[in-house]
Structure 1
């Protein structure tokens, strides 16, 4: 009898063991759930604020340009260029880089390029083939970005979570040629905005004459610069179709990430490849015809 009593655990001890086991199970479940939670980022910082201000500056610059306020448009464009450098430096200096910033920053650059490219093309300051390349590249990358965002967004994939950029899903890493191309595009837009400022007014023409320059020579230099930008734009757009490191998809399923990356690059290759073909056609038809028949009225209006 005494042996049986010693082998049989007391009810209180048994209850304590059951509570410990249940506690361990609950603790493991909580830890597992916490490890699967999607982290949130603090997106409210000065670099992101400057980036958003550049987004606002884009349509305002176009408005000033349409109404021939060239000096004000050039000044606001210069502000956008300066803040583009400052916000990146601040983010690196104070370690304020965010996935949202990596998305919004190129978005602000592209918004400025798209709006001003359309405006300058309408006013005849940019040839149609070049505007098609610039806009087509951005459109193809935007289509791929929509796919990347949806495919890599952690579940549940809802409309509000899709637009919540504090939920990281994919990181964009601009290629080397893309960085140079962005700089050259901004230089082209800036030069095009500067042209009517330095060729008009009380002192502009006199300074050009003193330097041995004239509007025809400046127009020819701009044409060569446009060819350079067209070449780098083509190279930049196609680089996103074959460089695997341009976009990093977040997640743990490597096979799924590889498939999503391949699909995104294929989207860019097909869409932008079609844009390049269309731009070549426009260059040798519409734009060449304008040059052949001497249709320089808009360009002369812009440069004088």
Structure 2
């Protein structure tokens, strides 16, 4: 008799669930199963989910703002030091509280800052942090972008003059020009990595390839120096070139991707461009071409080669 009643109760409960499937249907058309009619009437269906509040910088990896006030927040953990925060008015008009990482800071009212999403576990409700960092380090990305554009334009103009105007090519130019390019790009990558706009592994890869190329050039120069002239004075004498670096196609493509990555990374926070996938795509393209160009320089026989007397005399002229 007990088994018959339990089976009847199960059939009745299933019939009630199927009968009232439409008012209590789930988000994907899945029906809600209740144990019995009493539970169905007691709970009254699936409770609605509370809408979650969006972040003030939703849709942007970083955003600029102006400090309205410097605050001190007490963390929820006992015996913890107070956290320094700032009330920031963002470029989209919203106001939010951001915490400042590190020990000391010089932020005051009306200071321009750059913020990004970053929750502090012991601060309730604070989900944004200040990116601490003249120009890139202080959030002046527009000025840095203009400076980088001018440097790139003058570099292209200098190369065109050296190739097409007779008498304008020199040994000093063949050494200083690529060295200046390396210093410019290395500085840009290091500063953008410091403010968390470029990942650390990518910057390490780019710097490692450049440092390895410089050391390889030094070793080859020492190897092909005449035995009777080996001295620091002869080694540092740039009027007597011993080797030449011939950039490959993949190296030129890598240079293009590096410049594009730096420019796009600076342009995104400058104009608040909502395109989070383009910088990440350039990360992978830059990393792949950097690794490929490094392998090419390591195994190529023409990338780093010794100059013969005819080539050396033509460069000196």
Larger radius of gyration: 2
Q: Which 4+ runs in 1 deviate beyond 3 A?
A: none
Q: Is the CA contact (8 Å cut-off) linking 1:172 and 1:246 kept in structure 2?
A: yes
Unaligned runs of 5+ in 2: 1-132, 310-317
Higher helix share: 1
CA drift at 1:63 = 4.4
- CA change 1:194–1:238 in 2 (3 A) is same
Taking the aligned partners of 2:189 and 2:155, their CA distance within structure 1 comes to: 18
Cα pair 2:217 2:304 within 8 Å, conserved: no
Q: Deviations over 1:133-182 (max 9, x none)?
A: 11111111111111122223345122233222122111111111101111
Confirm or deny that 1:92 pairs with 2:149.
no
Matching residue of 1:238: 295
The equivalent residue for 1:177 is: 250
User: Residue by residue, what CA displacement relative to the aligned partner does 1:246-268 show, whole Å, maximum 9, x if unpaired?
Assistant: 1221247xxxxxxxxxxxxxxxx
Paired position in structure 2 for 1:51:
none
**What is the SS of the residue equivalent to 2:151?**
helix
- Correspondence 1:32-43 to 2 at 5 A: none
Greater length-normalized contact order (CA 8 Å, ≥ 6 residues apart): 1
Structure with the larger strand share? 2
> TM-score, normalising length from structure 1?
0.54
In structure 1, which of residues 137, 151, 155 is the aligned counterpart of residue 223 of structure 2?
A: 151
2:138 is equivalent to residue 67 of structure 1: yes
Give the Cα separation in 2 of the matches to 1:197 and 1:149: 44
Mapped partners of 2:169, 2:245: distance in 1 = 13
- State how far apart, in whole Å, the 1-side matches of 2:270 and 2:256 are: 21
Instruction: Give the Cα separation in 1 of the matches to 2:189 and 2:169.
Output: 29
CA RMSD of aligned residues (A): 1.8
**Structure-2 change in CA distance of 1:63 and 1:74 (3 Å):** same
Q: 1:194 offset after TM fit, Å?
A: 1.4
Gap change, CA 1:171 and 1:114, over 3 Å in 2:
same
Structure 1 position 230, deviation (Å): 0.8
1:194 aligns with 2:267: yes
Give secondary structure in 1 for the equivalent of 2:244.
Answer: strand
Map Cα deviations across residues 189-212 of structure 1 (whole Å, 9 max, x no partner): 11111111111xxxxxxxx5xxxx
* TM-score with structure 2 setting the length: 0.52
Alpha-carbon distance in 2 for matches of 1:165, 1:198: 44
Does the CA-based 8 Å contact 1:65-1:73 persist in structure 2? yes
Does 2:304 correspond to 1:247? Answer: yes
Secondary structure of the structure 2 residue equivalent to 1:248: strand
The equivalent residue for 1:111 is 183
Provide the C-alpha distance between the structure 1 equivalents of 2:134 and 2:235, rounded to a whole number of angstroms.
Answer: 31
Q: What is the rounded CA distance, in whole Å, between the counterparts of 1:236 and 1:136 in structure 2?
A: 12
Is the Cα contact below 8 Å between 1:74 and 1:194 reproduced in 2?
A: yes
* Structure-2 change in CA distance of 1:151 and 1:223 (3 Å): same
What SS does the aligned partner of 1:180 have? helix
Separation of aligned partners in 1, 2:307 and 2:222:
12
What CA distance in whole angstroms lies between the structure 2 residues aligned with 1:119 and 1:66? 7
